[in-house]
Structure 1
Amino acid sequence: MKRIFYGWYMVGAGCALQFVQSTLLMQSFGAYFAMLRDDRGWSKTELSGAAALHQVEAAILGPLLGWFIDRFGPQWVIRAGVVMFGTGFILLSYIDSLLAFYGAFIVTALGGSLCGFFPLNVALIHWFERHRGRALSSMQIGMALGGLAMPVVAWALATWGWRATAFASGMIIIAVCLPLSFVIRRRPEDIGEVMDGIGSRSRGPVLDPEKESKEPTRDFTAREA
Structure 2
Amino acid sequence: MKIFYGWVIVGAGIVITCLGMGTMMSLGIFLQPMSAATGWSRTSISTAALLNFLYMGPASFLWGALSDRFGTRAVVLSGGALLGLGLAAASQAGTVGQFQILFGMIIGVAAGSFYAPLTATATRWFSRHRSLAVALISAGFAVGSMTISPLARWLITDYGWRSAMLTLGALSWLLIIPAALLVRKPPALPRAAGAAAGMSPADREFTVARALCTPQFAAISFTYFACCAAHSGPIFHMVSYAIDCGVPAMAAATVFGAAGVASLSGRVIGGLAADRIGAKRMIVFGLALQAVSVSLYVFTRDLASFYGLALMFGFSYGAVMPLYAILVREYFGARIMGTMFGAVNMASTLGMAIGPWAGGWLYDTYGSYFWLYIGSFGIGLGAVAIAFTFRPPREFSLGLPCPNVTQSA
TM-score (ref. length: structure 2) = 0.44
2: CA distance, partners of 1:74 / 1:15: 15
Is the contact between residue 20 and residue 80 of structure 2 (CA under 8 Å) also seen in structure 1? Answer: no
Deviation, structure 1 residue 62: 4.5
- 1:59 positional shift: 4.1
Letter matched to residue 172 of structure 2: I
User: CA 1:62 to 1:168, structure 2 compared with 1: closer, same or farther past 3 Å?
Assistant: closer
- Matches of residues 2-151 of structure 1 in structure 2 within 5 Å? 2-26=1-25, 28-105=26-103, 106-115=105-114, 117-149=115-147, 150-151=149-150
2:57–2:112 contact (8 Å) kept in structure 1? no
- The residue aligned with 2:188 is 189
Which residue number in structure 2 is paired with residue 198 of structure 1? 403
Please report how far the alpha carbon of residue 19 of structure 1 lies from its aligned counterpart in structure 2 after TM superposition.
2.0
Partner-residue secondary structure (3-state), 1:114: coil
Unaligned stretches of 5+ residues in structure 1: 200-225
The structure-2 alpha-carbon separation of the partners of 1:48 and 1:23, relative to structure 1 and needing over 3 Å to count, comes to closer
- Give the drift of 1:90: 0.6
**Larger relative contact order, structure 1 or 2 (CA cutoff 8 Å, min sep 6):** 1
**Shift of residue 68 of structure 1?**
1.7
- Return the offset for 1:181: 0.7
Contact 1:131-1:196 within 8 A present in 2 as well: no
Report the Cα distance in structure 2 between the residues aligned to 1:196 and 1:130, rounded to whole angstroms.
9
Residue 3 of structure 1 aligns to a residue whose secondary structure is coil
Give the drift of 1:44. Answer: 2.2
Matched letter for residue 152 of structure 1: L
1:75–1:123: 8 Å Cα contact kept in structure 2? no
Task: Check the 8 A contact 1:65/1:114 in 2, yes or no.
Answer: yes
Instruction: Flag the structure with larger Rg.
Output: 1
**1:174 is aligned with what amino acid?**
W
Partner of 1:204: none
Superposed displacement of residue 67, structure 1: 2.1
Equivalent residue pairs, number: 193
Structure 1 CA distance, aligned partners of 2:112 and 2:53? 11
Q: In structure 2, what is the Cα distance between the partners aligned to 1:109 and 1:154?
A: 21
- For the residue of structure 1 that corresponds to 2:8, the secondary structure is helix
The question of whether the paired residues in 2 share the 8 Å contact of 1:90 and 1:167 is answered with yes
Q: Is the 8 A contact 1:13 1:183 kept in 2?
A: yes
Instruction: Specify the SS of the correspondent of 2:112.
Output: helix
Cα gap change, 1:35 to 1:162, in 2 (>3 Å): same
The CA distance in 2 between the partners of 1:59 and 1:139, in whole Å, is 19
Greater than 3 Å deviation, 4+ residue runs: 194-199
**Which structure shows the bigger proportion of residues in helix conformation?**
2
Following superposition, the deviation at residue 22 of structure 1 comes to 4.1
The answer for the alignment partner of 1:165 in structure 2 is 164
Report the 3-state secondary structure (helix = DSSP H, G, I; strand = E; otherwise coil) of the residue aligned with 1:187.
coil
* SS of alignment partner, residue 186 of structure 1: coil
Alignment-derived partner of residue 156 in structure 1: 155
